[in-house]
């Protein structure tokens, strides 16, 4: 059973089970520590000061973020070691903001081009603390990042711009591929490409201290070796995609969207008051429909509008009554969190706290 929902909830809303959350955080911290990896979890999945604090107290070295504004917000709540795991392209506004961050926290930034490194070097020149950079490498997801052999060129440009080149990083997005070997293949691709990229830096005399990879799907597939830092994010909550690809079990789902049944037009169909403005619209080749229904695991969310979710049930499965509360596990948790103002913390069918989504909408 996933997060028993209290009666009287105003829906739709996101609900967190703090015990499952803490267990997920503790297990990832221990798994990373026992295998010799530093853990720098990605905070874009939760955007919440209370959860960041739990991760740091469990042993995380610092946090990864996706944007300057996320870094600014977490710095304001006391996080003093941040990696912007993104090839930031600086305009005048971002230059000023990044410079202020560099004066206040231990800051690490991603780069993937010589031009981007040069702009970054100018932006932070003379800052109170040295700014580290990691060169982003494409390990197979074909998003951003250079080929491993090109990491040396970018690293040299960064070093020439006065930046502290600490190492390399990647995101193994192809670990979400729709085949049984995708996670294993992505982990091996990460190891190979990061090793090659690190060597390209060493060949130029750059001291490689950080080799950073890992996502929630691949983190359990890592083998000790060249890689020394992991950056999973979704693991704190998990979601329908992680459940379906086997990264987690139902007992590891720490967040659901609570919804109310607003219509029962047929025995095999009901409608919830939750839509894309709460669940997001992400689809996954692994997941049938727009989310997972723990109370109705055979049901499928076949239609999603901004404020409606239509659920179909197989023949013979009894549906909920009008006005019932139903839990929905989103396909991809990061988007619903970014759409929410707060997370309701529920234990034993009682709301025990409300956590602000501190970095909600921090997309610049």
- Structure confidence by residue, pLDDT tens digits, 165-179: 999 999 988 878 777
pLDDT higher than 60, residue 252? yes
Nearest residue to 187 via CA among 252, 110, 112, 247? 247
Report, as an integer, the average pLDDT of 88-98: 96
Non-local CB neighbours of 152 within 8 Å, separated by 6+ positions: 200, 201, 203, 204, 206
pLDDT higher than 60, residue 83? yes
* pLDDT computed for residue 1 by the predictor: 57
Quote the mean pLDDT of the chain.
95
SS3 track for 242-262: HHHHCCCCHHHCCEEEEEEEE
* pLDDT computed for residue 241 by the predictor: 94
Q: How confident is the model at residue 286 (pLDDT cuts 50, 70, 90)?
A: confident
Report, as an integer, the average pLDDT of 62-82: 98
Instruction: Please state whether the predicted TM-score (pTM) of the whole model is above 0.85.
Output: yes
Residues 131-171 have pLDDT tens digits of: 999 999 999 999 999 999 999 999 999 999 999 999 999 99
Instruction: Enter the tokens of residue 102.
Output: 């560099």
Q: How far apart are CA 21 and CA 39, in angstroms?
A: 17
* pLDDT computed for residue 360 by the predictor: 97
Q: Which residues pair with 329 in a beta bridge?
A: 292
45 and 333 in contact (C-beta within 8 Å)? yes
Q: How far apart are CA 60 and CA 32, in angstroms?
A: 9
* Domains defined for the chain, CATH in brackets: 80-232 (3.20.20.10), 242-356 (2.40.37.20)
* pLDDT computed for residue 224 by the predictor: 76
* pLDDT computed for residue 364 by the predictor: 96
Report, as an integer, the average pLDDT of 190-201: 96
* pLDDT computed for residue 167 by the predictor: 98
Express as a percent the part of the chain with pLDDT over 90: 86
Residues 335-355 have pLDDT tens digits of: 999 999 999 999 999 999 999
């Amino acid at each position: 059973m996933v997060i028993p929902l209290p009666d009287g909830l105003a829906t739709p809303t996101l609900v967190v089970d703090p015990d499952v959350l803490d267990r997920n955080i503790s297990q990832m911290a221990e798994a990373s520590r026992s295998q010799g990896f530093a853990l720098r979890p990605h905070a874009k999945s939760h955007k919440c000061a209370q959860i960041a604090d739990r991760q740091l107290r469990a042993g995380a070295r610092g946090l990864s973020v996706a944007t300057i504004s996320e870094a600014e917000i977490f710095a304001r709540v006391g996080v003093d070691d941040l990696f912007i795991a993104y090839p930031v392209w600086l305009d005048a506004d971002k230059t000023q903001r990044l410079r202020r961050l560099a004066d206040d926290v231990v800051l690490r930034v991603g780069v993937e081009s010589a031009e981007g490194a040069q702009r970054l070097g100018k932006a932070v020149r003379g800052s109170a603390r040295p700014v580290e950079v990691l060169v982003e490498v494409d390990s197979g997801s074909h998003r951003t990042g250079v080929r491993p052999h090109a990491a040396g060129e970018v690293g040299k440009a960064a070093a020439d711009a006065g930046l502290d080149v600490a190492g390399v990083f990647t995101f193994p997005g192809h670990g979400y591929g729709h085949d049984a070997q995708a996670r294993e293949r992505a982990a091996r691709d990460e190891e190979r490409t990061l090793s090659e990229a690190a060597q390209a830096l060493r060949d130029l005399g750059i001291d490689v201290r950080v080799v950073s990879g890992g996502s929630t799907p691949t983190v359990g597939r890592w083998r000790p070796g060249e890689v020394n830092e992991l950056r999973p994010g979704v693991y704190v909550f998990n979601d329908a995609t992680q459940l379906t690809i086997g990264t987690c079990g139902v007992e590891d789902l720490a967040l659901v969207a609570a919804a109310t049944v607003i219509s029962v037009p047929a025995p095999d169909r009901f409608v919830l008051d939750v839509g894309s403005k709460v669940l997001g619209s992400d689809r996954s080749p692994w997941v049938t429909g727009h989310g997972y229904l723990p109370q109705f695991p055979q049901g499928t969310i076949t239609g999603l509008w901004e404020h409606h979710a239509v659920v179909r049930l197989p023949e013979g499965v009894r549906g909920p009554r009008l006005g019932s509360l139903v839990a929905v596990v989103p396909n991809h948790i990061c988007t619903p969190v970014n759409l929410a103002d707060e997370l309701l913390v529920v234990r034993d069918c009682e709301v025990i706290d409300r956590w602000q989504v501190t970095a909600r909408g921090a997309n610049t």
